Chain A
Amino acid sequence: MAFAPMGPEASFFAVLDQHRASLLAALRRGGGEPTGGGTRLASSSEVLASIESVIQGIISSVARNEAPAFTIENRSSWENIKFEDSVGLQMVSHCTTRKIKSDSPKSVKNFALILKILSMIYKLVQSNTYATKRDIYYTDSQLFGNQTVVDNIINDISCMLKVPRMSLHILSTSKGLIAGNLRYMEEDGTRVHCTCGSTAVAVPSNIQGIRNLITDAKFLLIVEKDATFQRLLDDNFCNRMSPCIMVTGKGVPDLNTRLLVKKLWDTFHIPIFTLVDADPHGIEIMCIYKYGSMAMSFEAHNLTVPAIRWLGLLPSDIKRLNIPRDTLIPLTKRDQMKLDSVLKRPYVTCQPFWRKEMEIMADSKMKAEIQALTFLSSDYLSRVYLPNKLKFGGWI
């Protein structure tokens, strides 16, 4: 093997190997990966042709003396989203739409901004250059107003043209980190060797372009918070649990981090676990990785990994491990609302164990951060909690 074996004995991973086998069997039963719906990678010429088609439609409207308008699918409407166990949250085939009119005082500015960004995308694709969303915003920050406007329009364009953002030559800035047993080559030929040491590698901006991925990892651990990720790095977790991969999105994951996790799953089909705080926010972050988000539901097939399992921190762990009550935090009103919202989501119904954990949290009205485990011992997380969970199948 390319990697020096520093981790536990092979028997340590017995349960993990069984889990992987069951995942693969489930995949085979399901007929492999679901065929990509919604967006698909498009070539430059296809993207240019799509944009030209849109412009042609606008000019035809103008020639007929009709005020042109964009028809945009309502991405952020629950009525347009369905849940499939194998995919997660995705847009329905016949969505409700809204019109962005050029002759309405409410929408004329948005109409103009969509065209502005379309023209910028057109130039990027034509010249085979890339820009981040932030770059787009700063081309005329006064015109756009704020970054959120740009982000939403880019997503709307992606949804309208039915191509992923990558095909629009717009990159999102990655904030995620990777560590562990993984090597790959980036599009420009750069070889990346993620280490098991105390440093991590930034998630690349061009996930679609990375190739030659190599790993022996037995599992991929998604860590919610950067603080926990760094702590595990400092505790040499990757080496002690080698071979493994760790990823963090530093909170709500950006698109590239989600794309990377998806790519690692599609390529290696290794078990993927999440380590999140035992609070509604952590659970929601975990759901984003597993089932996707409403905003990006039109790209669900490229982003979701329904095979993800919840490793910790489980609300039931709090009682089981006798974590001191004074380390717990009462749920705020906002937490309560978020917990209620997550409990109502369609995917929770097919996760009875998750539901049960959330109900435990709701009943106790308390939440806990992963750092609560340090009250048991400073390295309890990396030396006891995680190894036991991984060895004995403590995931749901």
Chain B
Amino acid sequence: MERTAVAVCEILKYLIIHWKCETAGTSKGALLEGQIVISMEALNSKHQANTLHCVTTIASAGSIYGGLVLKKFLKEIQSILPGFSAKLNWTSEEASCSQDISGVTPFQMIFEVDEKPRTLMTDTLVIKNFLHKIVMVHPKIKFNFSVKVNGVLSMEIFGTKNEPTLNLSNGIALVISYQHYVRPKVGTAELLCSRIHPVLGHPVMLFIPDDMAGMGLLGELILTPAAALCPCPKIFSNQLNRISSVSIFLYGPSGLPLILPSQEQPTTTVFKDTSYFIDWKKYHLCMVPDLDLNLDRDLVLPDVSYQVESSEGDQSQNMDSQGQTLLLFLFVDFHSGFPVQQTELWRVHTLLTTHLSAILTESHNVVQDSVQVAVDQALEQHHHATKDHQKLQASLSVAVNSIISIVTGSTSSSFRKICLQALQAADTREFGTKLHKSFHEITQHRFLPYCSCEMKQQLLPEKNAEQSTEDAHEDSSLELLAGTSGQVENKRLKRGSLRQGRKETRAFHPARSPRQSEAAACRTKPTDASLTPCGSRASPGGGLEDSLWQQEVSNLSEWLSPGPEP
């Protein structure tokens, strides 16, 4: 891990902890809200060949960093980054008012580092991932991240403001839009539910190993796991009937990521044993660590990743199709009977980032129990969805074969002719194939188990973005353990809003995918004074959603009023 990335991440962690502590007195449990601008400007070094001199500026609008003492800040940062040095600027309120909101800010921190170009490239990816992870639990924080290398500017905005979330304790909320975690393969069935439905496990207290007991923590470490399948298992697609991977995300107090990618990872040693906390055998799954974690993607990079090696005893699954990913979030929080001081919280973070494995090992039994329950509940949904799908397939197979039996066995040539013509089949064999396919296509979209989150969303009138934002954070709480927690929140989120607030990413590299090219159209001209962010892309809405919505409404009485079994 190179210096710039570590420095940026540690500084951001420090700032957010400071921010949290500053606001704890006034609005306990409320989400942090604000904007932080990070800009890196790199020019060829005049003193070293093949080296870039990089000046990094971290700035913030608003007065959230009032009270930040530079000396104390430097001392604490230098405990992690020896020799680190930075300049801290405060601007006057009058000066900040004369600019636009992203202009000169009251708070500005600048530091300089010399780095190789390749290192800088890696650093930007690491920073991007870190920012992405933060906004996944701090949906009201927005990061403007720009990188200018020898005059060429690239800018990205990280924010999840209008996306559905699940409120957790202590002022963080998990974003539950699936597209941050998984990108379905092209050609998979249209997914009507764009959320994940986390199941929260019961919070457990972590035990501190004896050799760390003297660190003087005046409080408890509480781990709360959350598990979810991605994409939503309730909306069934033929290609999503198996678990193919597991992604584990580790968050510490204040919703800060515990791990930085590409770092040496003694912290995650405990996860090398894939079965240490989760018994996969009961699901006929064999997990192996996935070491191929590509930084350069716009999904949230997990801290630990497993791949399913094979499904024991089940040869019938289509291994070529994309399966589902089990997402496991481990939130470690610090609770104390006293108002937590920033220094203490910073110390807790440092402890966790360096000794997480040891702490989790010490607490193996309780962690295992809690995690297993959450995983069991999340996979139960998948299990039910798989069973439902199997029943459907079996029933349709019986139906189709019965029809084929009658058509092929009929001695009435006119009847056979009419049937074949209806499906434009040349013979009974082709008729059978087409009948199978047609039935499958007709029922695949229509046979959608009730996914209440999506249904409620589609039924409700559209609202403006501000109201949607408020709605997105209401209702749910840590106490909701059921997988239906996603049903409670966002009751009134407007239909198109799921696609809003998508972070627009533009790769550092010149080559882009078509989707990213589309986003690149929003790239601004490089100016120092105005880092104008591109707005969130509006939802395309579209005819497919409308027609599907109409179908759902027409089936509404069936879903809402279960009738007698025929």
Which residues in A have some Cβ–Cβ distance to B below 8 Å?
48-49, 51-52, 55-56, 58-60, 62-63, 65-67, 72, 98, 100, 102-113, 115-116, 118-119, 122-123, 126, 143
Contacts and interface: CB of A to CB of B under 8 A. Distances in A.
A113 B551 CA distance: 25
A66 B396 contact: no
B48 interface: no
B566 A115 contact: no
Contacts of A58: 403
Interface of B: 388, 391-392, 394-399, 402-403, 405-407, 409-412, 415, 418-419, 422-423, 435, 438-439, 441-443, 446-447, 449, 555, 558, 562-563, 565-566
A52 B405 CA distance: 11
Given A106-B562, A112-B396, A122 B409 contact: yes
A48 B410 CA distance: 9
Contacts of A126: 409, 411
Contacts of A116: 398-399, 402
B402 A108 contact: no
A56 B415 contact: yes
Given A67-B443, A103-B443, A115 B449 contact: no
Nearest to A113: B398
B562 A55 contact: no
Given A109-B395, A112-B396, 9 more contacts: A52-B406, A56-B418, A59-B407, A63-B422, A67-B442, A100-B566, A106-B563, A108-B443, A112-B394
Contacts of A112: 394-399, 402
B130 to A, nearest CB: 43
Contact of A65 (B419, B442, B562): B442
Given A56-B419, A59-B403, A67 B398 contact: no
Contacts of B415: 52, 55-56
Nearest to B439: A62
Given A116-B398, A126-B409, A59 B443 contact: no
A62 B438 contact: yes
Contacts of B423: 59, 62-63
B50 to A, nearest CB: 62
Contact of B566 (A48, A60, A66, A107): A107
B442 A119 contact: no
B447 A108 contact: yes
Contacts of A65: 438, 441-442
Contacts of A49: 412
Nearest to A76: B564
Contact of A55 (B391, B407, B443, B447): B407
B405 A119 contact: yes
Contacts of B443: 67, 102-103, 108
A383 B388 CA distance: 64
Contacts of B422: 56, 59-60, 62-63
A341 B27 CA distance: 65
Contacts of B411: 126
Contacts of A111: 395, 399
A62 B418 CA distance: 13
Contacts of A113: 398
A199 B422 CA distance: 59
A287 B167 CA distance: 63
A97 B555 CA distance: 17
A105 B446 CA distance: 10
B406 A62 contact: no
B80 to A, nearest CB: 55
Q: Sorted from nearest, which 3 A-B pairs have the closest CB atoms?
A: A103-B446, A115-B402, A119-B402
A102 B397 CA distance: 12
A59 B396 contact: no
A72 B566 contact: yes
Contacts of A109: 391, 395
A103 B446 CA distance: 6
B409 A123 contact: yes
Contacts of B391: 105, 108-109
B565 A106 contact: yes
Contacts of B418: 56
B416 to A, nearest CB: 9
A250 to B, nearest CB: 30
Contacts of B563: 98, 106
Nearest to B435: A62
Given A56-B419, A107-B566, A112-B399, A67 B406 contact: no
A115 B403 contact: yes
A65 B419 CA distance: 15
Given A100-B566, A111-B399, A112-B396, A105 B449 contact: yes
Contact of B447 (A56, A59, A104, A110): A104
Contacts of A51: 406
Contacts of B412: 48-49, 52
B392 A105 contact: yes
A108 B566 contact: no
A66 B554 CA distance: 13
B390 to A, nearest CB: 12
A106 B388 CA distance: 10
Contact of B406 (A60, A98, A108, A118): A118
A380 B418 CA distance: 69
A128 B438 CA distance: 33
A51 B407 CA distance: 10
Contact of A103 (B394, B405, B447): B447
A43 to B, nearest CB: 15
Contacts of B409: 122-123, 126
A119 B446 CA distance: 26
A196 to B, nearest CB: 47
26 contacts: A59-B422, A59-B423, A59-B435, A63-B438, A65-B438, A65-B441, A67-B446, A104-B447, A105-B388, A105-B391, A106-B566, A108-B391, A108-B395, A108-B443, A111-B399, A112-B394, A112-B396, A112-B397, A112-B398, A115-B403, A116-B398, A116-B399, A116-B402, A119-B406, A122-B405, A122-B406
B406 A55 contact: yes
Contacts of B562: 106
A108 B442 contact: no
Contacts of B447: 103-105, 108
B558 to A, nearest CB: 6
Contacts of A60: 422
Contacts of B395: 108-109, 111-112
